[in-house]
Structure 1
């Protein structure tokens, strides 16, 4: 096998391994997020957390119930936003801001949302 063919072969293998790892990773993320969702819905309904303008969860007041859960959700969201940003040729921050707008549209009455200026409002 000549050097050019070998390099193409190795590049294909590396890309294949990366894509397999990414799909496995994202599947895990999706399941973790799905598992957390019922508790997140409860915390939103109780007014403890809301959705900030960056597409992440944030505490609205001083009550920090389930801080580890909120941090885990935000970590996974950031991983997803980075992956989407890479696909779209943009930044994770832009993806998060776009997602925040989508989340705000679907928010239930009474849920807390942070506007672009940082002010918390109830829908």
Structure 2
């Protein structure tokens, strides 16, 4: 069962992409819940407001310029980015490092695309054949 799942994950086709989009949409709900229900109330406890919309108001020739709305959007973006990094990216990188150590793959070997290695060998063989 896990072998079949691993083969499914390693494929690169449209069905996999569709599944990723659906899972990404569901994951967005989780990240938004984390930001809105955990992180923003924590910030509200620190600064006294769950958002900065009313902060940094400036009146310019009778028009209200609300820099606080921009500040709220920036803070929300940074919180979402941090949540994605610490919940998805960091654990995935750790898992990849562990797998590579277990398989004995170095960073240099991992960085080289097998197709490029093969093409390089073919080029070198052709150059050696032309020198004869």
Q: Please, what TM-score do these two structures have when normalized by structure 2?
A: 0.31
Larger helix fraction of residues: 2
Q: Which structure's CA Rg is the greater one? A: 2
Higher relative contact order (CA 8 A, sep 6+): 1
